[in-house]
Chains A and B, each alone.
Chain A
Amino acid sequence: MTDASAPEKTLPLDAWHRARGARMVPFAGYAMPIQYEGIIAEHRWTRESAGLFDVSHMGQLIIRGAEAEKALEALLPADLAILKEGRLRYSLLLTEEAGIIDDLMVTRRGDHFYMVVNGATKDGDIAHLESKLPHTVVVDHMKEQALLALQGPKAAATLARLVPGVEALGFMTGGAFQIGGVTAWISRSGYTGEDGFEISVPAAQAVAIADLLAEQPEVKPIGLGARDSLRLEAGLPLYGHDLDTGTTPVEADLGFAISKRRRSEGGFAGWHRISAELDNGLIRRRVGLFVEGRQPVREGAVVIDDEGNDVGKVTSGGFSPILEVPIAMAYVPVASSEPGSVVRLAQRGKIFQAKVAPMPFVPHRYHRKGGGQ
């Protein structure tokens, strides 16, 4: 459990961030860098070159044991049976009512599964996994691992200079590599919509690896502020804002995370609700919005109908540094969820017009090889 009054914990790169002029803020129970030189500059640098993110607050878990695959499939809607060695999938921990406990990445790695979960929810996720998995399946929280992300169009060429062969990874695949004399697990994945990598290294070597990456001319450190604006432009939901236990994957427009076999066979938490929603339709759905004018509409603004009734809510909102217009994610009535639909938003007593936009707002530039994921 997170105790709001508990002092912030520090991450392995705390002093590293401070030495680079980061402004530190509390996030997920840790002191974390919100920005260095400025959110817009860092955002654009990531879209044009390569940004280095410290995401060591995230939970890195190993799940192993007899029948781990089958046991995990009872909790996740992913088809783990067809997940090949070194491949990762986006998936969701679900309640029996199909509420989203967390969103995550799961990788088949040798005799176990490697899972990366959100920092603010990791303790709850571990408790959930331990209570639901059979005693033959063990959850190991790798507290001694740091996690870095290198994201942007120059990430591959830059990282390949330090890690020969890493450029051969396709989107949503990973492998073990040496970087600066350290063994790292590197996957081609991220949370910006750009090509890029996530790099898991021992915490004791995190400073050396961060230095090695940051001294490359294409690389600058990027804070949480730009991480949020980048993922919003990429149409990627943020847990605790766009997703929560009161939201189902179908409402959240994450149907792609429910694998075909699992959809027809079921056998995972929340399947009955999901199946009914897929068959019978929904009341509300997560969409992207272009907001008219220049003023951003933020999380917490209300979607209203013509009579002023509250019919939905904005769950993320801000200003797109690339498009230079305000953008948002919101849950809106399904009847108003098609691109081009006009919706009205209320924020601090003011009405805003917005238009449903296809997401991503800024195209993804993932490095897909051959036949997809």
Chain B
Amino acid sequence: MTVYYTDEHEWISVEGDGATVGITDFAQGQLGDIVFVELPEAGRQVTKGGDAAVVESVKAASDVYAPVSGEVVEANQALGDDPSLVNTAPEGEGWFFKLRLSDPSELDGLMDAEAYRAFCEQQ
């Protein structure tokens, strides 16, 4: 299992051609209290950089982009009952959706944990 990060503050944990996507701890900290997450339905094709989800804080709505292309195989239903999981466990129970990757080579341009930490420090 390898975890990658995007400059839009999403993480993607990859195992074979399957991947789990969420937003980073840095992102949830910037957004503040999350009150709703609009998730893609299973079966939907998402494209790298395209809209995949919407995360709503008390203050504002923010788009979440697909870090890579693929087919959504599962959305995290637990976020429907408790969207604050994104605040309390952004890189664990607060995951957004699972994907089947259509082009694993898209992972090449993403950051590893160390590069992402450096990226956040410049924000």
Residues of A within 8 A of B (CB): 34-35, 38-41, 43, 225, 228-229, 294-296, 298, 318-319, 321, 326, 348
Contact = CB atoms under 8 A, between A and B. Distances in A.
Contacts of A228: 59
Interface string B19-42: 000000000000011011010000
Contacts, number: 43
A-B CB proximity, top 10 nearest: A319-B35, A40-B33, A39-B58, A295-B36, A294-B36, A319-B58, A225-B59, A296-B56, A38-B33, A39-B33
B60 A294 contact: no
B113 interface: no
Interface in B64-82: 80
Contact of B56 (A39, A40, A41, A319): A319
A35 B32 CA distance: 9
28 contacts: A34-B59, A35-B32, A39-B32, A39-B57, A39-B58, A39-B59, A40-B33, A43-B58, A225-B32, A225-B58, A228-B59, A229-B58, A294-B35, A294-B80, A294-B83, A295-B38, A295-B56, A296-B36, A296-B56, A296-B61, A298-B60, A318-B58, A319-B35, A319-B36, A319-B58, A326-B36, A348-B54, A348-B61
B59 A318 contact: yes
Q: Which label, helix, strand, loop or mixed, suits the secondary structure of the A interface?
A: mixed
Nearest to A228: B59
Contacts of B35: 294, 296, 319, 326
Interface of B: 32-33, 35-36, 38, 54, 56-61, 80, 83
Nearest to A43: B58
Nearest to A350: B38
In the complex, which of the residues B59, B61, B80 has the most CB atoms of chain A within 10 Å of its own CB atom? Answer: B59
Contacts of A294: 35-36, 80, 83
B63 to A, nearest CB: 9
A40 B54 CA distance: 20
A27 to B, nearest CB: 12
Contacts of B36: 294-296, 319, 326
Contacts of A39: 32-33, 57-59
Contacts of A296: 35-36, 56, 61
Contacts of A326: 35-36
Contacts of B83: 294
In the complex, which of the residues B54, B56, B60 has the most CB atoms of chain A within 10 Å of its own CB atom? Answer: B56
B33 A298 contact: no
Contact of B58 (A295, A321, A348): A321
Nearest to B38: A295
A43 B57 CA distance: 14
A39 B54 CA distance: 19
Contacts of B54: 348
Contacts of B32: 35, 38-39, 225
Given A229-B58, A294-B35, A296-B56, 9 more contacts: A35-B32, A38-B33, A40-B33, A41-B33, A294-B83, A295-B38, A318-B59, A319-B56, A321-B58
A79 B56 CA distance: 43
Given A225-B32, A295-B36, A319-B35, A40 B61 contact: no
Contacts of A298: 60-61
A40 B34 CA distance: 10
Contacts of B33: 38-41, 321
A260 B32 CA distance: 45
A39 B84 CA distance: 13
Nearest to A298: B61
A296 B80 CA distance: 14
